[in-house]
Chains A and B, each alone.
Chain A
């Protein structure tokens, strides 16, 4: 599909995707949800969420605890259905295709994910990054090594680990582990990278490095990040979606506009830190 065929330089693939979107869908949104609702058993986590994630830049999903922001993010790569008793209504389109009816494994090759807590496998640094490509059938050692280096460089971790790629990933610091997880996701060459509060378990310095890396990555692929940190959203995002209690989308727009001029009183309260 789009985004993977551009050969050696992945940085170019976002341009190809943009062309494809404009030509075929006359749109700049790579993911579009339409009246999307999600249920855990009888409990409704999201209500009629309709939004379009722009191809370019970083989109932040914000909101108070329990508002369903992680659920929305995980819906984009079908991770929610790993839990029993879940149900989705409405549609999500990815590059024009119905995401909810697609093959989940195929979807996840296009839409990568970084989790709240760094979760490297108990394997070597190299094997962690090589995991995705290997699972997808890449056998050529030289190509794997090349992909590992490229991914570690993109995640700004290469210089720190290049001399001990054989060491266990669990020996790295928390911040390094999280950048390793980013590299691991990048090695599959996804079109979209989802980040679920990637800095919530990290100290300020490690957070800063992840944010810088995220900004750089946004030049090459679409980044959607869940955060409950207002400053972080202000620093790194170009667009912001604010969910409020009960999983209702209260606000969606460019970060500058939403922060300066929220259209909704509740959102204004939230952004002022009065709750959440």
Chain B
């Protein structure tokens, strides 16, 4: 019966639509034609979409593959040692100075970027009149689009000399300088995502609060911010991801001394800085080379975890308000 149908030269139709309702995979030649003519989109888009996934997979694979030998050569203890001196004799490849450097710079940057970013977001989302909102949002987007080397330049020429004079230092290229520049760079990300989170809070909450005689500030503090909480956390974490992964600007102003310090007024080297500085000077396949890839793995893991966390928090916000 099946073959009898599909052999018909023209499908029987009712009201313009074919009467044959069998799934295309069972409808013989007509089904095949349907697949080619009308359902080509799924496989094509599947291939296109998988390209980016495959690319990510390949990047992960190669970085892990290049990083792996370092474990055999110096072990996990060696990798997380406190001394980074690849050209010394004996050479040491402890990543701790860079991990601490990255953490110090990032935390200090967020300490001022998060409050400032949230405040800017609250102003844009809750207080500013329409025209100012538009201006502020485009300024934020502009800030986010400035190449990082320009920020580094600004840090080198303006911020570093200022700190050198202000604190009487031998060099202005310190963790603090890097933090300030990183904070400025993370600010647009944090402010713009936090603004999205605040805007996603239903207006009915604000109305309810205002109708109870709350002031605008009370409404922001007690209703809008708590309701947007997970989105705000997501914004902060993505800002952190931005700060920890930044390379060029930090390289220019952090001073790049691979030392473990808790002082913001000393030069530090970050994970990103170490890779960018040293990769060009190492012999391919050397321990140093593999150790730099291991730094890359550490950075990658931090980035993936922060992004995952941020998405989770932002998703939670969306579910909470049924969007």
Contacts and interface: CB of A to CB of B under 8 A. Distances in A.
Interface in A179-233: 181, 184-185, 188
Nearest to B204: A119
Report, as a range, how many residues of chain B touch the other chain.
20 to 34
Contact of A119 (B129, B130, B207, B213): B207
Given A105-B215, A122-B320, A115 B209 contact: no
Contact of A115 (B208, B227, B321): B208
Interface residues of A, number: 26
A49 to B, nearest CB: 21
A134 B223 CA distance: 13
Given A131-B222, A135-B222, A82 B210 contact: yes
Contacts of B321: 122
A31 interface: no
B207 A135 contact: no
Interface string A133-175: 0111000000000000000000000000000000000000000
B176 to A, nearest CB: 39
A121 B208 contact: yes
Interface string B305-323: 0000000000000001100
A115 B213 contact: no
Given A122-B227, A135-B218, A135-B222, A112 B212 contact: yes
Interface in B204-236: 204-215, 218, 222-223, 226-227
B213 A188 contact: yes
A79 B206 CA distance: 11
A77 interface: yes
B130 A135 contact: no
A120 to B, nearest CB: 8
B215 A119 contact: no
A258 B218 CA distance: 43
A134 B214 CA distance: 10
Interface of A: 77, 79, 82, 84, 105-106, 108-109, 112-113, 115, 117, 119-123, 131-132, 134-136, 181, 184-185, 188
Interface of B: 129-130, 202, 204-215, 218, 222-223, 226-227, 320-321
8 A-B pairs closest in CB distance: A119-B204, A109-B213, A113-B211, A108-B213, A132-B212, A135-B214, A119-B208, A135-B218
